[in-house]
Structure 1
Amino acid sequence: MTANTRTDDPLVDLDDIGTNPTSNPSFTDLIASRLSRRRLFGLGVGTAGTALLQACGGGGDGGAAFPILPAAPAPAPVPPAPSPAPAPAPLKLNFGAVAKSLDDVVSVPVGYTASVLYRLGDPIASGVAAYKNDGSDEAATYDRRAGDHHDGMTFFGMNASNKWDATNASRGLLVMNHEAITPLFLHPAGQTISGTGNAAVRTVAGEVLREFYLHGVSVIEVNKSGSTWSYKQDSSLNRRVHTLTEMSFSGPAAKTDYLKTRYSTDGSKTRGTVNNCANGTTPWGTYLTCEENWAGYFRRIKATDDAKRTNPKEVTSFSRYGVAGTGRELWATVTGGDDIHARWNTEVIGATALDDYRNGSNTYGWVVEIDPFNPNSMPKKRTALGRFGHEGACLGPVVVGKPLVWYMGDDSQNEYLYKFVSTKAWDAADVGGGTAAGDKYMDDGKLYVAKFKADGSGDWLELKLGVNGITAANANYAFADAADVLINTRLAADSAGATKMDRPEWTAVNPKNGEVYLTLTNNSARTISGANNTVGTDAANPRYYNDPKGATAQKGNPNGHVIRFADTGGNPAAVTFKWDVYLFGARSTASADINVSNLGGDNDFSSPDGMWFSQAAPGLLWLETDDGKYTDVTNCMLLAALPGTVGDGAAKTITNVDGATTATQATFVGKAPGTDGLRRFLVGPVDCEITGIAESGDGRALFVNIQHPGENSKTIGDPNTFLSHWPDGAKSRPRSATVVITRNDGGLIGL
């Protein structure tokens, strides 16, 4: 996640504000009785025993094979069992913890090297000049340059025939998101804007064109020579997908009235993708990019547009998704602009929806599938997976003859956790099938939202017309058809009674046992008791406290936590699960009711965000931070973890304090990790977010993204005022970039 820093339109920071007005549980009313360890851990869950797992999170598959098992054959006579093989040695973190730091560098453990691989503006086609990094590069070249705000990514190993080869550890395609931009550093003197408030307009079309191209996705070929990694500038597979790239819709909402615009009068297509945060993968070898805080890019002046809407449901939908304001980058206002700018105005302007872009914002908020091995293929927006602020789409266990599942967080305060289960069972013959395989598995299935219950169990509530209150008779929103449910997934989840969470972000699946982890970055909107129509604590979001940053109070759950769950019976299609809180972010100096995981100086952190399990070393979890709460002490970081299992801790009652008010909250807490189970591996430069992670197929190269260093700098006039000059140093403008980390002795990273 990246917060936008515009001050003239406060509605654009929707991840920090939230748009959920419902009274859905928090369960404060469900936990009057004491919770017991027996009630949580007596529920039972099988491991993923017969299934090899595809681990993911923001970093995707990390280049390892998407594990596939054939359907089990009929039982055969069992011969006498041989002596059991010795158990594999347990994983052990094998590096010295990196100290907290406020320096403008990337710090890694002794014995490791971090090298810059791919920076904002780097050329990815022949004939494109090196980036000047002063705002003077020709705008028309930016469709062949690296985008800004590098984010979630995947390494796809590749053979000599340019086909997917997950075992290739020295050549592949690195595919990454470019979530947003830091406008100050993109143009000679920042954005050129005339006027203020609703009258503010962009007056230089070339600046906006740069920004159009700098969002989206990069596909680049990377190669290892000796111990050095580089990207191949003239590769025929290099590609940029951006806000002007044509895309098709697929699934139940495609070609419906909700998606019809002046550009696509039948609702079959749109242009572009934006605010691409975390990501995902498919077992047939394609990349999923996820549209997160897209709502703030659209212009809709509520006071005037509401009056033009003849259908009040549209106003309800806009409010629930936060579509209101001038647009965070003012793209719709370009003086003398044409259709590529007008489409960012989602107001009623023409006679019908075919004359304007009143439905334009409906064309964003989706999971988008891209085939990285076919640069001429058209990306597809998969509507069956719902429309919300998609943080990522993590692929669960992949077993021949079983459905596929993706887990998805909605990154905003008090939003929900979702999963999609395919109708079709997985057939390994579809490997390499491109987006045509996606039509088979991602256009038909069941979409669920999570309800975390106070006894440590949970329910997956189906989001479907006619069930869980999702009906035409619903008093808050009358659902008309299946497409309406998917266009307005948040409203459907509200009706079903899902659990409001502390900003659900990245999901990751442990390949050892199929358990799913979810980062909950923070929530300043949570209160101690839920009085006066606010959201109080609950078992799954149990803390309320103040973590002062200097003299500034930071109340709610400013440091975040990581929750984990296991679908019943190890079956991702199950409709129940059990859960506990794996890890709580906190300062090491905080009290025991805040520092619940007993973190020390080598592993304390705040605001967990990116998360991903290694495939080369199953069981090794990487955890990244996107923090503004603890940055008085340290820049954002990457930690390595060796988590246990759901239920390895105990029931616990946390005492929350707000001034003179004290309240207790029962929850379930995983075993404290200690430094053997959690250790700081990397600290980034000033004012950055650490996000996006992938590994080469052998686990001996780790790719990590450093996003928006120095983004809160205030002026371009004096380089001495830049908060960061990373990665180029001296007086340069800072740039988002990908680093590749290797061990000096060539060994596995982290172990």
Structure 2
Amino acid sequence: MSHHPVEDSNRSDNPQFSSIVESLISRRGLLRGSASAVALGAASGLLLSGCSDDGGEPRRLGFAPVAKSLEDRVALPAGYSARVLYALGDPLAAGLAEYANDGSDDGNWDRRAGDHHDGMAYFPFPKGSGSATEGLLAVNHEALTDIYLHANGPTSIQGRRPLAEVVKEQHAHGVSVIKIAKSANGWAVDRGAAQNKRWHVNSPMQISGPVAGSPLLVTKLSPDATTTHGTLNNCGHGVTPWGSFLTGEENWFAYFTVDAASDTPELARYGIKSSAPGFNYRGWDTPLMAGDLQKRFNLAQTGASAATDFRNAAHHFGYVVEIDPYDPTATPKKRTALGRFSHEGAWFAPAVAGKPLAVYMGDDARNEYIYKFVSAANWDPADANGGLAAGDKYLDAGTLYVARFDEDGSGTWIPLTTSNPALAAFSADEILIHTRKAADAAGGTKMDRPEWGTVHPLTGEVYVTLTNSSSSSSGRGQGGGSSQPLDAANPRCYDADTGSLTDSVNGNVNGHIIRWREANGSVAATRFRWDIYLFGSRASYPANVNVSRLTDDNDFSSPDGLWCDARGVLWIQTDDGAYTRPTANDPKATNCMMLAALPGSVGDGATVTIGTQKTYVGALPRSETLARFLVGVPGCEITGVDLTPDYRTMFVNIQHPGENGSLTDFESNWPNASRNALDLGTPGVRPRSATIVITRDDGGEIGL
């Protein structure tokens, strides 16, 4: 399975996270005061401590683990039901016909559900009501499965794309806001609601924050560098304390092309270069009748100045974008103070009156960085309903930091500001527009593909998924580049079929999750403590690879989506290609999944040895503290999750089912025409990305 290649442009000499961990664990008394390393075999008897009930945290999950599955249906625990709520092409406006699902185009894709549903959040309606039966759902649309979107797949005539196809693709990206409500017949979209809105690649947007008006943002369409068009490759998300939606622009760079004469080191640092078109380049700039909204995806320096061409157009993407779901007339704002990179999402620490706000972010590419933004303004609860004006107050001024993971088990947040001597060569604009280069110079620690993050609402600890380190095709989206070297943070270089330790380039194809705790519990702290929470693995792998001792009830690979709900339940979602096929040694392959976990806390584990390599693992989970809750359909990724305030309704996205199929073999036919998510797909029907709604048959809380 191959979702997309992974951008790999960091050539700085900054240390790998792994090299720091290796030095770290060689010391005595790290994190827990452990006097010596604990052999892996002995560790299993010492670390089976369940989650305590301190602070009201639950002690055990309340469902039987779901078995692995390769079926073309969604699998849930007994006693749960699921329906398809919002699928590719569904109308957002009254009077539009149902989606034909045959690739035809009625010209209304700015009023239909986009493709590749991703990060998502539920907002009670009316605002401030706390309603668990009526709300607005904001849904990201990351990318496309082109083969199913068009009647005969995408077409090109002598290197030129049809303009109608290009516009359809641009409108199928972006964000949906839909009004939904629960009735006696279950949940449904209110297709006539005034709040329904599609934001897409061509929608007007505002550039907000410190670099608005910068010469580095001047283009033919934005000569004053304060406005722009569209949001692109929207992946993870965030929810602000004032009730707005944040959407992260992730692999935006892969849609652009550039000629050799226009290559620059700044573009190359973001994976844009003439020698290698991006994996999402779709020829949007090529139609004969293309307008500037299409031509901007060609970065060639064709004019006399930046105001006459699109050499700076790529600088308009790579931000966190704020959308007010309650006001469809409010122009979204790109919050430039949070930096520019492949934003997976943006996750707030709990807001505390009189204290600054903190937002955590990851740059989803191999060997990139983890960031934190701390607001200049202290939180005032009176701003809880402040809309985008509150965003102006808290997200347009503050300090952006990059993380350095130190050898003694602590970490440092390095400021990315002009007052940092390491950034003396950078202007303030360059730091926020060329953020990766600034982080290189500042000495951030290279990380292994930071994906989603979340903040535990009861402990304040931060979790981030590092999806995998493999460059082999067996790791989803990992073709090309080089593997992470064998070291303490990635101690498992192993064969993907057998799990045998090896010196090959396979790397750690199953990924892991790290976490940290800010010093003194302060989000404004510049120091923190960290450890590694959980390692992904097949249950069948030997103990020196299955470090967290996962079983058939909870083994997983390539953690991606991540969210901790208000009760302290951690939801882990996968986007994997390493575990979706049977092998000679393990026939128990499975489609991508979502697990529920009751995590411990930083430092609850011990040092272990894998072969000759030392590393650190968190407390080993049990089936009642880590269990598989959902398994998706062939070709899909499980991504995006939220609950209503009463915890009795869950929303989850099934992204790109049948991704590896063709028009003669769809791979998946899900969802069924009945829209029962648990039914097998209907043979011969094209698959559709969709949001499903999950409830318990007895009306109880989800997961517990």
TM exceeds 0.5? yes
Secondary structure of the equivalent of 1:280? Answer: strand
Contact 1:98 1:682 in 2 (8 A): yes
Secondary structure of the equivalent of 1:155? Answer: strand
1:119 and 1:468 map into 2 onto residues whose CA distance is: 51
- Aligned match of 2:43: none
Q: How does 1:140-179 map to 2 (within 5 A)?
A: 140-159=107-126, 163-165=127-129, 167-179=130-142
- Displacement of 1:33: 7.5
Secondary structure of the equivalent of 1:546? Answer: coil
Contact 1:176 1:219 in 2 (8 A): yes
2:192 and 2:498 map into 1 onto residues whose CA distance is: 47
- Displacement of 1:454: 3.0
Q: Which amino acid aligns with 2:184?
A: G
Secondary structure of the equivalent of 1:555? Answer: coil
Write the deviation string for residues 353-383 of structure 1: whole angstroms up to 9, x where unpaired: 0001100000000000000111000000000
2:361 and 2:23 map into 1 onto residues whose CA distance is: 31
2:149 and 2:569 map into 1 onto residues whose CA distance is: 37
* Aligned partner of 1:91 among 36, 48, 59: 59
* Aligned partner of 2:157 among 194, 217, 221: 194
Q: Which amino acid aligns with 1:572?
A: V
Contact 1:37 1:650 in 2 (8 A): no
Q: How does 1:427-506 map to 2 (within 5 A)?
A: 427-467=380-420, 469-472=422-425, 479=426, 481-506=427-452
- Aligned match of 2:313: 360
* Aligned partner of 2:657 among 709, 712, 715: 709
Write the deviation string for residues 141-168 of structure 1: whole angstroms up to 9, x where unpaired: 0000000000000000113xxx343x21
Counterparts in 2 of 1:194 and 1:122: CA distance versus 1, 3 Å = same
Counterparts in 2 of 1:151 and 1:32: CA distance versus 1, 3 Å = closer
Secondary structure of the equivalent of 2:399? Answer: strand
Contact 2:219 2:311 in 1 (8 A): yes
Contact 2:104 2:150 in 1 (8 A): yes
1:137 aligned onto 2:105: yes
**Number of aligned pairs?**
655
Q: Which amino acid aligns with 1:179?
A: E
Contact 2:483 2:507 in 1 (8 A): no
Instruction: Structure 2: state its 5+ residue gaps.
Output: 35-52, 473-480, 582-588, 673-681
1:157 and 1:223 map into 2 onto residues whose CA distance is: 10
- Aligned match of 1:304: 261
Secondary structure of the equivalent of 1:28? Answer: helix
Contact 2:59 2:625 in 1 (8 A): no
- Aligned match of 1:19: 9
1:737 and 1:533 map into 2 onto residues whose CA distance is: 34
- Aligned match of 1:624: 573
TM-score, with structure 1 as normaliser:
0.84
Secondary structure of the equivalent of 2:624? Answer: helix
1:523 and 1:684 map into 2 onto residues whose CA distance is: 24
Counterparts in 2 of 1:542 and 1:399: CA distance versus 1, 3 Å = farther
Write the deviation string for residues 459-514 of structure 1: whole angstroms up to 9, x where unpaired: 11111124151122xxxxxx2x1010010111111111211111101001111110
- Displacement of 1:619: 1.4
- Aligned match of 1:128: 96
- Displacement of 1:340: 1.5
1:687 aligned onto 2:678: no
* Aligned partner of 2:182 among 199, 224, 249: 224
- Aligned match of 1:544: 493
1:619 and 1:331 map into 2 onto residues whose CA distance is: 44
Contact 2:576 2:637 in 1 (8 A): yes
Secondary structure of the equivalent of 2:534? Answer: strand
* Aligned partner of 2:457 among 511, 518, 525: 511
- Aligned match of 1:647: 603
Q: Which amino acid aligns with 1:502?
A: D
Contact 1:689 1:707 in 2 (8 A): yes
Q: Which amino acid aligns with 2:668?
A: S
1:125 and 1:581 map into 2 onto residues whose CA distance is: 47
2:493 and 2:93 map into 1 onto residues whose CA distance is: 51
Q: Which amino acid aligns with 2:377?
A: K
Counterparts in 2 of 1:443 and 1:332: CA distance versus 1, 3 Å = same
Counterparts in 2 of 1:214 and 1:534: CA distance versus 1, 3 Å = closer
Q: How does 1:604-683 map to 2 (within 5 A)?
A: 604-615=555-566, 618-632=567-581, 633-655=589-611, 664=613, 666-683=614-631
1:698 aligned onto 2:688: no
Counterparts in 2 of 1:535 and 1:743: CA distance versus 1, 3 Å = closer
Contact 2:367 2:447 in 1 (8 A): yes
Q: Which amino acid aligns with 1:19?
A: S
- Displacement of 1:226: 3.1
Write the deviation string for residues 519-578 of structure 1: whole angstroms up to 9, x where unpaired: 00012259xxxxx99853454444433323899987112100000100111111111111
1:19 and 1:174 map into 2 onto residues whose CA distance is: 35
Write the deviation string for residues 80-124 of structure 1: whole angstroms up to 9, x where unpaired: xxxxx9985733211111110111110001100011100000000
Contact 1:522 1:557 in 2 (8 A): yes
Secondary structure of the equivalent of 1:209? Answer: helix
Counterparts in 2 of 1:31 and 1:707: CA distance versus 1, 3 Å = closer
1:320 aligned onto 2:269: yes
Percent of aligned pairs sharing the same letter? 51
- Displacement of 1:440: 0.5
Contact 1:249 1:269 in 2 (8 A): yes
* Aligned partner of 2:359 among 395, 406, 409: 406
2:54 and 2:548 map into 1 onto residues whose CA distance is: 32
2:510 and 2:22 map into 1 onto residues whose CA distance is: 24
Write the deviation string for residues 417-456 of structure 1: whole angstroms up to 9, x where unpaired: 1110001000011111111111110011111111112332
Q: Which amino acid aligns with 1:135?
A: G
Secondary structure of the equivalent of 2:108? Answer: helix
Contact 1:28 1:536 in 2 (8 A): no
Counterparts in 2 of 1:636 and 1:554: CA distance versus 1, 3 Å = farther
Q: How does 1:207-356 map to 2 (within 5 A)?
A: 207-226=165-184, 228-301=186-259, 303-306=260-263, 315-324=264-273, 325-326=276-277, 328-356=281-309
1:471 and 1:595 map into 2 onto residues whose CA distance is: 45
- Aligned match of 1:28: 19
1:32 and 1:381 map into 2 onto residues whose CA distance is: 40
Q: Which amino acid aligns with 2:466?
A: L
Q: How does 1:114-125 map to 2 (within 5 A)?
A: 114-125=82-93
1:588 and 1:534 map into 2 onto residues whose CA distance is: 23
- Displacement of 1:349: 1.0
Secondary structure of the equivalent of 1:220? Answer: strand
Contact 1:461 1:468 in 2 (8 A): no
Contact 1:454 1:539 in 2 (8 A): no
Counterparts in 2 of 1:129 and 1:534: CA distance versus 1, 3 Å = closer
Counterparts in 2 of 1:91 and 1:32: CA distance versus 1, 3 Å = closer
* Aligned partner of 1:592 among 524, 528, 543: 543
1:445 and 1:744 map into 2 onto residues whose CA distance is: 47
Q: Which amino acid aligns with 2:64?
A: G
- Displacement of 1:397: 1.8
1:425 aligned onto 2:382: no
Contact 2:24 2:409 in 1 (8 A): no
1:175 and 1:418 map into 2 onto residues whose CA distance is: 24
TM-score, with structure 2 as normaliser:
0.90
1:722 aligned onto 2:666: yes
Q: Which amino acid aligns with 1:647?
A: G
Write the deviation string for residues 651-670 of structure 1: whole angstroms up to 9, x where unpaired: 22333xxxxxxx52x33211
